[in-house]
Structure formats: structure tokens, C-alpha cells
Chain A
Amino acid sequence: MSSVQIAVPLSQPPRTRILGPLRTLALRRFRLTVRTPRELVVPLLTPIMFALVIAPSLKTALHTGAGYEAFVAIGTVGLLIPLNTMFSGLGVIVDRVSGAQRELLTAPIPRGLLVVGNLLVALAITGLQIAVLLAVSIARGIQFDASSTGIAWFAAAAALFTVGMYGMAEILANRVPRQEEYIARVPAIAILPWFLAGALFPIGALPSFLTWVAKFLPLTHALALMRYGLLDDSAGLHAIWGTGDPAAMAALSLGVVGSFALLLFFASIRVFSRSAVA
């Protein structure tokens, strides 16, 4: 065996670093994710099936117009984001049970960066998947009516909703001990709200008490914003806020989704930091 010098003398306290470690952690998560194709493909399957198979079938069966396919295509983004972020949360459990989480907890970096690094990758992959979903929808002949401002509304709503849902996934992953228990909770968090939030039909079609429930769901606001952005359709915003200026209603809904994102983002960091140490 050859010889190698091991230690250095003790030094002054190091500066707290943020960007370098964040890039390292995000790169790590990305490398782990691309080695698990299920995390990339599975969340995409159901929304694409809804957009390309179920929506056209419903359009035919219900004798609705071409606009319904575009309505459902946006609605499926509201399914894709929760599914994708919940799949990302599985990686947190894998890290804890059989991965390098304990090693990362002994690194000289603020522990919240571990959550932020994972979030950045979840955001990037979700963005990529939404782009694929929309591209496939356009290729299928679905038409969107988006200006640059509209795309900005759509992107802001999608990004903030992704942040909030990833926060929820991270919290759940740190609260339940095993993957099985985590997966058992996914339908209630990712799928149930989707049926109530105006993904497949306007929330006004729900029984009145459920309409009220829907108005409090962040997903309802996110979908209404995304349709306002990509379809120039403010009906969803009107169904939530009543009559008013569409831009003002959009700003209010963005505030709701933004608050949801901020709340769950900081809660997820707190929950992780507390649960990661005994």
C-alpha cells in the first residue's frame, strides 16, 4: 500500500457556503433521479393518457367542442405536478433508509440545503414533463391561445404549485417511516383534490358545498391561473372570485398559490431539519 497524508491542522471557522453546495446537492439528486427511470416516466403516463385518450373520448361522448380537450390538457398538468412531486418525495425515503442522508447530515452545510437541492431537481423535472405533455397535446392537434404574459402566468402558477406540492411530499416523506406507508397516502394527496379542483369540469358543476371546498384548494387556483395563461380563459377565476378584472383575480389566485408554496416550503425545511436529527 502506498502512503498518503491524511489530516490538516485545525483551522478557523469556515464561511457558510450556499450556492456551491446547493449545486452539488442538486447535481447529486439529478444523477440519482436519472438512474431511476420510473421517477421520470411513471408520473407522465397518466396525464398523457388523460390528455390524449380520455379527453377526446369524453369530448365525443359528451358532444363537447375542441375547447374541452384543451381544458382537460391543462387539467392534466394539475395531476402531473402532484404525481411527479410525490414520486420525488420517495427519493427522500430512499436516501434516509438506504442512501447517503446521514453522510449529508454531517456535511458542513446548512441542512435546509438538502431540501432545496431536491426541490430544484423536482422543479426542473416537472418543468420538463409539463413541456412534454404540452408538446404531445399540440402534436395531437390541441390548440392553446397564449401570449408571453399568458405563458408567464402559466409558468408562475405551475412553478409555485410545484414548490408547494414538493414541500408536502418532503413533509410526508419525513413523517412516515416506510415507502409503503408513503405510497398509501399518495392518492389522497395527489389525486383526490384533482377531481374537485376543476381539472375535468368547472367547479360550478360540483354540488354547492363541494364548490366551496374547491375554492380553498390551491390546485383550483393553480388550474384557473394556468387556463387563464394558456387558454386566455378566465372562467375558472370567475368561478372562484366572482366577477372582477381577470388580471386582478389572477393576481389574487397567484397570491393563494404563492402562499401555499411559501408555507409548505418553509414547513418542509423545518420538518426535515427537526426529523433528521434526534
Chain B
Amino acid sequence: MDLAIEAVGLEKTYPGEVEAVRGIDLRVEQGEVFGLLGPNGAGKSTAVGMLTTTIVPTRGSARLGGFDVVTEPLAARSVSSVVFQEPVVDRALSGRQNLELHARLWSVDPRETRTRTDELAATLGLTELLDRSVQGYSGGERRRLEIARALVSRPSVLFLDEPTVGLDPRIRAQLLDVIADLRTRSELTVLMTTHYLDEAERLCDRIAIIHAGRIVALDSPRALLAGLGRELVELRVDGNVDSALTLLREHGVAGEDAFAVGSRLTVPLRGRTSREAIGAVHELGIARAISAREPTLDDVYLRLTGDSLATAA
């Protein structure tokens, strides 16, 4: 069976030698929910643009549902739909007209379109809005409409580019429920980009962390977190952080996977309890604050890139 998404050595260099994507390889299985995680400017949207044929790769190749995005773009587009980061709808038209437009362009049988539109409107809570002009929709309603539009053609691959960016917390929570519901549809492959860690952890089967145009880690959220152990301690250090890290390593408190960012040292615990580690740090007298907690994807990102995802985004 073909992979739903396959990219080999995909690169994009914009004029002025701006390397947005520096060679990424992806193999996404059918039915998988795959996350591209990274801050703004990491290359996520450019990668999605190349996969959806709106950006021409400089090098490398990509296939959607077995169709090459450069040599068979119409076929590749026929099996996919996109929900864009910014609102991309005809605001002067009604929600129904936006859905029908998509259905016609994607060759959905007109008799099926009406049924399907009504089903999706019910699923996404749009029934009452469907015949109103999109001009009057709220941000969350418009985003749900865009998801319904993307699904009306029964795509095999759905791209969600930062689907919740700019939405207030309540609408964001609702939308995450909608996307989580999509996750249960076994034949739909979803590739979503986000810089929200909770979204990635909750929704994705696997995550690729992308930084400066390269994939720096690719695995399931659980496996990525497991790489940092079950617990870690975090220190605020007075003075030279690198010296403090060296000292911790010399005393066996920190291993090679400990890392420093600014005045903060993060030390994954390997076979030690947090009580032992905190005691050892206190004895060395190098920390002005210390705490223990479970690792998060932000720690994974921090270790791989030297920058916090939250602050970078």
C-alpha cells in the first residue's frame, strides 16, 4: 500500500539564498495523525506548501497518496485538502456556497454534496449558520467551516496548518475536540503543523520537530518524552552556567543529556531520585532555585534546539 505522504530530501530555498527547508524526509502512513512541531519560521508552512503544491520545491521529491506533487500535481491535489493558517474563504458567500464550491471543484457527485454538507454541518455544529454569509461568522465558526469544507471532498490526506492559531481558549478547546474526533477516522491521514505542545501531544501519533528547516527529531510523543526519562530537575544558576553544568557532570549529578539555556539548567534524572539530585545540587551550592518535574515536549525541543518552543513561537 502507498504511503499517504512521502518526502525525500525536500528543500526550499527562496531568492536571496533564504533556506526555508533544508532537506526533510517524511514517511507518513495512511490513517496516521502526524505533527510538524516548531516555532514560527522553522519551515513548517513551507514544507506544507510544497506538499500541497503551492510552493515549488528547490530539490527533493514528495508524493501524496502515491502521486508526485511536482509531476502529478492535479492527482496529488485530488486526494488532499488543506485548512490554512489564515482564513481562506469567500466571505461574501454563504457557508453552504463555500462548501459546494469545494465539492464541485473536487468532483463530488452533486447528489452526495447536499447530504455530505448537512452531515458535516451537524458534526461541526454549523447547521444553523450554513446559509448565512461567512462575513458574519466568528473566528471559530469560520475555522470549523474551513474544516468542513476540507472534508466535503472525502480527502485521503488532510493538512491542518496551525489550525488553532489566533483563536481564543474556549474556541481552541472546541476545535481540538473536533480534530481529535477526526483522529478516530481510520482512513484519514492528517498532517498538522503547530507550535502548541499540548495539541501535538494530544492529537498526534508521531511528531517531527522541525528547527531551522531541518527535522531534528521524529517519533511518537511518548518516545520523545521517554528520551528524557521519567523526571528531571531544573536549576536557576548564579554565575557561569557552563561551569555549573561541568561541575554537575563531574559529580555524577548530570549526564550528557543535561542542557543549559540562559541561566537555566535542565537535568534529566537517570536512576537517581529527585530528592537525591536536589540534595547533591544543594551541597554544590550552585543553584538559587531548583525544582523537580516530569519532562515535557518543550524540554525535548529545548534540548534539541537550544531554544524554548514557547518563547521562539
Please tell me which one of the listed residues B72, B102, B123 contacts residue A1 in the complex, with CB atoms under 8 A apart.
B123
Say yes or no: is A2 at the interface (Cβ < 8 Å to chain B).
yes
Q: Is A100 engaged at the interface, CB distance under 8 Å to the other chain?
A: yes
Is the beta-carbon distance between B187 and A7 smaller than 8 angstroms? Answer: yes
**Stretch from B78-86, B193-201, B249-257, B302-310 contacting the other chain:** B78-86
- Which of chain B's residues has its CB closest to A21's CB? B105
Indicate whether A99 sits within 8 Å of B82 (C-beta atoms), given known contacts A6-B154, A109-B105.
Answer: no
How far does the alpha carbon of A28 sit from the alpha carbon of B101 in the complex, in Å? 8
Interface positions of A from 72 to 109, Cβ below 8 Å from B:
98-109
What sequence of 0s and 1s flags, for each residue 9-30 of chain A, a beta carbon within 8 Å of any chain B beta carbon? 1110110110011001100100
Q: Is the CB of A102 within 8 A of B84?
A: yes
Residue pairs across A and B with CB atoms within 8 Å: the count is: 130
Contacts of B74 in A (CB 8 A): 13-14, 16, 108-110
* Interface residue tally on B, bucketed by range: 35 or more
Q: Say if the beta carbon of A36 comes within 8 Å of chain B.
A: yes
* A247, B49: Cα distance in complex, Å: 53
| Across-interface contacts of A99 in B (CB, < 8 A) | 88-91
Contact of A278 with B98 in the complex, beta carbons under 8 Å: no
Say yes or no: A108 contacts B106, CB within 8 Å. yes
Tell which of B51-59, B162-170, B221-229, B270-278 binds the partner: B51-59
Chain A residue numbers with a CB within 8 Å of B189 are 7
Contacts of A101 in B (CB 8 A): 88
B241 to A: closest C-beta gap in Å: 40
Min C-beta distance of A69 to chain B, whole Å: 39
Q: B151 contacts A6, CB within 8 Å?
A: yes
Complex contacts, A107 vs chain B, CB 8 Å: 77, 102, 105-106
- New contact pairs (11) apart from A1-B125, A2-B123, CB-CB < 8 Å: A4-B120, A8-B156, A10-B79, A13-B78, A21-B105, A32-B92, A102-B88, A103-B88, A103-B149, A108-B74, A277-B54
